[in-house]
Structure 1
Amino acid sequence: MKEFKDRRGCPRSTLDTPLIGLVQFDTYEYCSDLSSFEQASHAFYLTVCDIGEKGARVESSYDLTPVPQLLFLIFDRPNTAWKACYARAAWSRRDSTRNQYAVGLAFSAGLEDSSAVGKLLSGYPIPKPDDLQFLTATPLIRSIPENAVCRLLNSLAMKTLQSGDRLFSQGDVGDALYIIQEGKCTVQVPKDGKLCLVARLMEGDVVGEMAVLTGEPRSAHVEAETPMKLWGLGKAQFEMVSAECPDLRFFLTELVTHRFESEPLTGERAIGKYTIKNKLGKGGWSIVYHGVHKILNVPVAIKMLKHNMAMEQSFLDKFRNEAKIIARMNHRNIVRVYDIEEAFHTVFIIMEYLEGQGLDGLLARMGIIPVPQAVDLLVQICEGLAYAHEQGIVHQDIKPANIFVQAEDRVRILDFGLACPSGSEDLNMAGTIYYAAPEQLEGHQVDVRTDIYALGITAYELVTGRRPYPEDDLNELVERRLHQDVPDPCELDPGITESLRNFILKACSRNPAHRYQYIGEALSDLRPLHADLCRTSDEAALERHQVMSMFFVFREEHQLALNRLLEEFGSKVQDLGVVVKVAHFKDV
């Protein structure tokens, strides 16, 4: 080796991309009885920030100045080879904000090729050179900044499994996540008394991230299908690294979101008083599940804010806002909210479970909605919006996908996630561009007339089977929306009644002052048409009552206390206009 004596003035090159380095050294510490020394051997990765012929500047999790001599190795990526030399720490400075040390290494001699790195590291728990090439290519490690890679590598611990071994079970504490380097495993959940396969994971996949990310117990069983080699990252180490590198948490959050979206089957996961059964669908920022109340066994829809959205405080606030807005509404044409729960580091809105289909699905199946049916649907949407507007709420995203059609064409308005007080400025251009009013596109204040415009576009689509403007070029769509009136729907279907045509054209006026000024005006124009075209039984169908039964199984000594509870309960529900009937069965 070529030895160095004078290192001052030796040129160094600052690296655009930090390199991966490695140090190995021995330390000597007194035994507990102070009679002799004990030798301890250390090896860990560090980040090489710049390097020259006679030294390097590195970032390390430890202060290396007390070490008299260490073996320094650096990975030469272009040549996929390691170079090594002996060195010492000439200086060290601690960065308290990142809990890292900037260390200046002085080389004792020049760097030379080293082929014995794997053998050198054989007794250490950190990844070996072959492992390093695999790990640095995984999406998880590529998701974090280069200067944080070594810190993560030092936190990994290898684990091996044989076929049939269980990595963890549903309900276990989520103390680590794992990167699969070799082999395959199955993810299974108990459902209806048997284990159901949810996913099969293999090389490069991450497993166990959900429990580490959310702090909840494991949601599934994971078993090795073949012999496996994995690298575990403990929860404490994950919290430490992700505090410095939020991108790591964001990557795992995206992964959790993707799995929630793509897996049709889910374990019966408890969300407060409710149990998730299976996935119903997904939207831009939420996933909807079918669930049941644990005690009452009442079916519910459970709307979960996607985990990647839950990281954004603005989305989290909007989602909570939706629950609060709908929870205070009570109208037959607006979906009901029962509860709100927070778990798994996100928010769940518990809503009534609806059977039927979205208006967008009905439109896709039928192509064009017959005028009598379209008028009936529009009247119900107007009635729901009239109620919301009376509460001072503008929906902001009226479109077929947010209208649910139940049996006998009973309508429910969904998704108040973008709702806001009337007169608010819509600076984020919320809503769907194909139905957005000109004032929304320009970021101006929105009011009830914004919903009326979207309703007009929806009406146009229902009776013609298409929206009014070409949509190949969104810029052109916006220009037409701002500067051209909607075309006459009768040009596509001359059979559209004159009153419905006038309703559509007025609702879709570019100037809000020329539209209906409130939804009651629109209803005044639609109701005569509704009376002429629609069945007289529709109103009665909308007023149909529902019946709920509840059974109490009790002993005789409970009768008096139960009577008091029933009297109190009966009094409260009668105040709501609900009729209570009680039947008593003796000696069951």
Structure 2
Amino acid sequence: MNNFPLTVPAGYEVGGWTVERPLGAGAFGSVYAARHAGTDTSGGRGDLPARAALKFLPTGTHTPRQLRHLRDLADREVDLLRRLRSPRLIRLYETLTVDDPSHPELDGATVLVLEEAERPLQSLLSGAAAPPAGPSLLVQICEGLHQLHTAGWVHGDLKPGNVLLMKDGSVRLGDFSTASELEGTHAYAAGFATPDYTPPELLWSEVGDRGTRIRPSADVWAFGILAHTVLTGASPLPGGTPSARRDAALRYARGEEELRLSPALPDVWREIVTDCLSRTHEERAAHDARSVLRRVREAATGRMPRRRRHGRRHLVTLVAASLAGLTAAGLGTNALLDRQDGRNTATGYERCAPGYVCFFSEEGGRGEMCDWENDDPEWFDGDTVCAWARQEGPRSVFNNGAADTQGFVHVSLFAENGLKDGLGCVRQGGRRDLALSRPVASHTWTKTCAESVAL
């Protein structure tokens, strides 16, 4: 308990919550399990659950300069969690302020009431063997990064302690006190990230008045370190201490030393890790979270890489090693297979990867294809561009969305940017030919798909 920024006694009450036991601590906050007063584990109060994790941030003590810094960290985390609705980010239920002069060490503290996790990923990495579910965990971690980056944020401190495992086996990213919103190509991080997961260019960077300049490629580097650690149990940088590994990272960046990749790392993951750990930001920027996510999904399901053309415009063909590979990927045994140059190539709807909604230029899943795993309020000006659909719109759609613990599995379609002028929705698993009065211009994942508007 000595390492907790704030020590909160069991039984302490704040905002209707009763503290039970400590869960963990970071550099700036202490996290405790709590239950809502007057409820049992079967239900909560209104839209609040019966149980939650309370993150106490000491914003009521310290010097004025320290207070400004801690308040900035708290505001960043609250701002991000209130603005983003993403299934791979820990959920924020409410924020509280401790008003308790009788406990001066707690008085004025900010409390974040968060979704309760079962344990951090770090707890799975303490043993000698790599967790068998490692590839699946990495897919979900990368999904969280992609959701953050698409929304214009950089996590800034991705590491096993900030990856949270839920009771249902799913993954959430947590601890956004050092997260930063992009301003063009850069963001400014107020805190200092863990050296083991910090890219070389930030290890010697100067800290300005607004903090350290950081880019999404920093999260990609951290993911590369994390992926190697999850799959092999070891860091790809040599050294028995954090300072030794930091020095190894600097020597690697200067070209004086190579990565120490484990021989147990499969070739497909070796390529992903190597690209994520490119020596410079400029080299790493070519491997953004979107492209890394595609490769990680393919590696986790044993599929061959998907071919891409025209940069961000995803007009793709899925190359499968075998029918069994398609089945393992969740595409079904009835996949349509054509023989081209001695290889089986999935066609039609079967090109759509699990977790995506895919639109096609012809009926029956034929022709050109655009695919998304997130909402897109601007089809023709956003991150993924489906230019061929601007005039006539797609002729068919496949909602191949994966199971989501929050229930966002159906897809609503809109005729205007900004999710305006609804056209209907496609249920999870739905494959539909479209005969819409207006072309689709934006879409979003939704929990409900009323019969009156279902396509």
- What residue number does 2:13 align with? 269
Deviations, residues 307-360 of structure 1 (Å, cap 9, x unaligned)? 687652212221122111112111111101111111121111111122x22111
Q: 1:398 aligns with which of 139, 143, 158?
A: 158
Contact 1:404–1:413 at 8 Å: present in 2 too?
A: yes
Q: Report the counterpart of residue 55 of structure 2 in structure 1.
A: 303
Bigger radius of gyration among the two: 1
Report the alpha carbon displacement of residue 428 of structure 1 after superposing the two structures with TM. 6.2
Counterparts of 1:576 and 1:369, CA distance in 2 = 33
Greater per-residue strand proportion: 1
Letter in 2 for 1:482: L
Match of 1:237 in 2: none
Q: CA deviation at 1:535?
A: 6.7
Q: Could you give the per-residue CA deviations for residues 19-63 of structure 1, whole angstroms, max 9, x where no partner exists?
A: xxxxxxxxxxxxxxxxxxxxxxxxxxxxxxxxxxxxxxxxxxxxx
328-337 or 515-524, larger mean C-alpha shift:
515-524
5+ residue gaps, structure 1, are 1-253, 547-574, 581-588
1:413-451 deviation line (CA, Å, top 9, x unaligned):
010110012344657671100110112212263111110
Q: Using a 3 Å threshold, how does the CA distance of structure 1 residues 428 and 439 change in structure 2: closer, same or farther?
A: farther
Q: Distance in 1 between matches of 2:301 and 2:178?
A: 33
After TM superposition, list the pairs within 5 Å mapping 1:439-478 onto structure 2: 439-443=201-205, 445-472=213-240, 476-478=244-246
Paired amino acid for 2:114: M
C-alpha distance in 2, partners of 1:325/1:544?
Answer: 20
Judge conservation of contact 2:5–2:30 (CA < 8 Å) in 1. no
Match in the other structure for 2:72:
317
Q: How does 1:153-552 map to 2 (within 5 A)?
A: 260-261=6-7, 265-270=9-14, 272-294=15-37, 295-296=45-46, 298-306=50-58, 311=63, 312=66, 313-343=68-98, 344-354=107-117, 356-365=118-127, 367-370=129-132, 373-407=133-167, 409-422=169-182, 423-424=185-186, 430-443=192-205, 445-472=213-240, 476-484=244-252, 487=258, 490=261, 492-494=262-264, 496-515=265-284, 516-532=286-302, 536=330, 542-544=403-405
**Cα distance in 2, alignment partners of residues 283 and 276 from structure 1:** 18
Give 1:547-558 correspondences, 5 Å limit.
none
TM-score by length of 1: 0.44
* TM-score, structure 2 as length reference: 0.56
Query: Do the aligned residues in 2 keep the contact of 1:292 with 1:298 (CA within 8 Å)?
Result: yes
| Letter aligned with residue 411 of structure 1 | V
Letter of the aligned partner of 1:493 in structure 2? Answer: P
1:132-187 per-residue CA deviation (whole Å, 9 max, x = no partner) reads: xxxxxxxxxxxxxxxxxxxxxxxxxxxxxxxxxxxxxxxxxxxxxxxxxxxxxxxx
The residue identity in structure 1 corresponding to 2:51 is P
SS of the residue 1:368 aligns to: coil
Compute the RMSD of aligned alpha carbons. 3.4
C-alpha separation in 1, matches of 2:144 and 2:263: 28
Q: 1:488: how far off? A: 5.0
Q: 1:542: how far off?
A: 3.5
Q: Does the 8 Å CA contact 1:310/1:316 hold for their aligned counterparts?
A: no
Partner of 1:577: 447
Contact preservation (8 Å) 1:426, 1:443: no
Q: Report how far residue 507 of structure 1 moved.
A: 0.1
Distance 1:527 1:458 in 2: 16
How far did 1:471 drift? 4.0
Tell me, what secondary structure is at the counterpart of 1:288? strand
Per-residue CA shift, 1:42-97, capped at 9, x if unaligned?
xxxxxxxxxxxxxxxxxxxxxxxxxxxxxxxxxxxxxxxxxxxxxxxxxxxxxxxx
Whole-Å Cα distance in 1 between the matches of residues 36 and 85 of structure 2?
A: 21
CA contact (8 A) 2:178 2:189 kept: no
- Give, in angstroms, the shift of residue 278 of structure 1: 3.2
Q: Is the 8 A contact 2:225 2:273 kept in 1?
A: yes
Equivalences for residues 24-63 of structure 1 within 5 A: none
Between 1 and 2, higher relative CO (CA 8 Å, sep ≥ 6) is seen in 2
Distance change in 2, residues 1:435/1:300 (3 Å) = same
Q: CA deviation at 1:275?
A: 3.5
**Partner amino acid, structure 2, of 1:299:** R
SS at match of 1:434: helix
Q: Which residue identity is paired with 1:369?
A: P
Choose between structure 1 and 2: higher helix proportion: 1
Q: 1:352 to 1:367 in 2, by over 3 A?
A: same
**Does the C-alpha gap of structure 1 residues 544 and 291 become closer, same or farther in structure 2, counting only changes over 3 Å?**
closer
Aligned with 1:302: secondary structure? strand
Kept in 2, the 8 Å contact 1:429–1:440? The answer is no
| Equivalent AA in structure 1 for residue 295 of structure 2 | D
Deviations along 1:437-476, one digit per CA (max 9) or x if unpaired, are 1122122631111100000011111122111234456554
Distance 1:448 1:545, change over 3 A: closer
- CA contact 1:428–1:443 (8 Å) conserved in 2: no
Equivalent pairs counted in the alignment come to 291
Q: Deviations over 1:259-297 (max 9, x none)?
A: 953x7x522412x34343333222222111222344446
Any conservation in 1 of the 2:276–2:287 contact (CA below 8 Å)? no
Residue deviations 1:200-251 (CA, integer Å, cap 9, x gap): xxxxxxxxxxxxxxxxxxxxxxxxxxxxxxxxxxxxxxxxxxxxxxxxxxxx
Unpaired runs of 5+ in structure 2?
Answer: 38-44, 99-106, 207-212, 304-327, 332-353, 356-400, 408-444, 451-455
The answer to whether the 8 Å contact 1:335/1:351 transfers is yes
Which residue of the partner structure matches residue 248 of structure 1?
none
Point out the more displaced range, 312-321 or 423-432. 423-432
Distance 2:266 2:242 in 1: 31
The whole-number CA distance in structure 1 between the counterparts of 2:35 and 2:205 is 41
